[in-house]
Structure 1
């Protein structure tokens, strides 16, 4: 059988020559077509063996070659007519490639199951961890990591509520102020703070923090931004540092420059945002954000004024020519009456015309004749106006303008003319003061003491004619001082530290008592007065005032719109005082009975200047009331209370030792 297959293979090969063999491509195409045909027939009739293809008249058939395992017959290449559409037939292996999408669907299904399982695990973890704050969480420094929501809320309220109620200190550098949280609606919202930290969430950042730690979390606050902005605007007024403006002053005749320096101002917009966000977390005091504030007058303006105004002004004297009469003003006199003021971003030189006029009069008194002010004097026991007079003088504005032009140019002569000079206090001014009637008077009995009386006469002369303008104060020490021998006063008896002594001006307390009482009865405002330590029968209890230079004064204020003229005089047995003006107040007074009476006792005075006293009046307390009425309506009700010490029996020397006979 082997030989037959061999003989057969050999006979076929001998009949087909090289020229008749198909090309490789033609072989693959036809071989695949024959096989497909066989397979197709097998599919049509699985139990029937395939019929051999009908031979082509021009085709050569090759018998199958034998192999070790071969049982099938293989068709040899056959020259067949080309396919009308000239394209290969479908491959029998296409059915195996169709199985690949099934494998991909199985892989996608597995992946989907895994995703679902992971999502379920993620959600379960989110649910499991939802009741606790993330590990490591702190709010305004308060640790709440890992706590259940309720515990975290309790801890935050306990730790932060007291802090939230405190004043919030705010500062800019060394300057400090504070904010009241309640006034600006600042409050800590614990629920809003915890909302993002507890409860179910799928936020991976929160879940990560719950597993591995989150760290600091800013607290959530509520705030009334309008009120906070208004409060910070007020605080800014306390904390802002004004810029240093460029300036020029004179030291003698030398210009001195103040260099400009930027200031700082609270940036209210930025501060509003910063305070609302960090009031619980920032280091205290809160350093508020600021912005620089440039000075209005900068370095260039200072240099300009220095070189064109200041230095030329004092470079040489200026001669003032008044109708041919000359007065030379020195650089020092010019500088003493020169001032630089800011005008926008520049420095402007201003000259004091009145000061320059005084300087001209000092240099050459013949240049101007001053007028006389009106006076109010006592004549024939009544106020009388001495009319004012006009004079010839320099117009201050004209003089300042002329000196300014001359002082900043090469021509150093200022030409001016004399004008009529009105007095500062005219006749009309005096008449308007309404000094026309007695508004209060008071007298106190005077003991016979010629030395003491001398002091009272000198003091009375000095206060008589003093005109107290509306709103001004009358100070007795200012009117009669200094209390010295050179000013006409002599040494007389006084009470010092509770003991009788002597001093220059002794007895002037009686003038002080009279001046207090006329002011008290006229309704003037009591500024200061001090009663004596011991009561003298010649004075009304509680309505008297001592005097001691320089520490103890008697002062009242003229609270009317009229002038008050003071008058005082001494007669043989009394001291008198009177005030002239226009009656404004209806004054009503009352004095209580003496109470808390203390009887005198024996005391010892070791002072070398001690004077023994036999003792006398007891001590007591008294209260004085005053009601002031205007136009029938009570204006006020005042009271003064004073306690007097008793007139003790004074023994000069040290007290006796224990057991010594004191009789």
Structure 2
């Protein structure tokens, strides 16, 4: 008979109690293994990261490329030489342009475009502490650095102006020339001109592509019809204020005891003209021709300059004296004096 308590209820045996007690849950061995694997992987990455830093002592980090050229693990000078060797020829290739159906070529140096290898390498140099880059360099991974280009805006604009096609013969802009003792106005003509703003952007893009790919494809530059910047009103003003006085008679240039006259029917028209500068006509002198005309007149005459040095008379000195004298109509005032000691 099973044992009973004081109330007569049966007392469970030891076997019955053991059967009713739930068994302990099995240990989660799988999760422990994952944790251990994660710790091990993290440790391995740390070791790899440290090894990458220790092994990469060069100016340019391992795995660094510029437009496909591997310059990683080198000093700055060697990296520049590598870029010049591979990209230098591409950077000097003439650009192929198309203006109004006519194909032309333009040297990058003339357009003020160049690959700046020095600043490119400078930007790619220095320690890279990014774990992805450092570990990737050990595994042969690449780190791409951006090339740096130089753009001389002034040269680029001038080059685009040189590419301009005129719509006809003769000058594109108005001017004043001197002939037969008279100032003669020459009206400008409408002309086709490359759009400098859009054209500059297109040339820059084309140059970058050419350096990157080594291929030179024709760039069609936009052209628009431009009106002359110097109109008839400006031509009339220039003749009235300068042209007519300039041709009113002989003009003389004097330096010390030396002097030489210039005639409106002889020598003046050979070197004197008026050309546009920012929409205004200004007197312009062909210094080479002027020097040939006065020859040895001022030989031995020295001018004391602002720095105290004494130097011979130059064509610029003669032109400067002429500029003031040509504006006068009184014969007594048509003498341009070169001061020998302007201090």
Shared fold by TM > 0.5?
A: no
| TM-score w.r.t. length of structure 2 | 0.41
Structure that is richer in helix per residue: 2
Higher strand share: 1
- Bigger radius of gyration, 1 or 2? 1
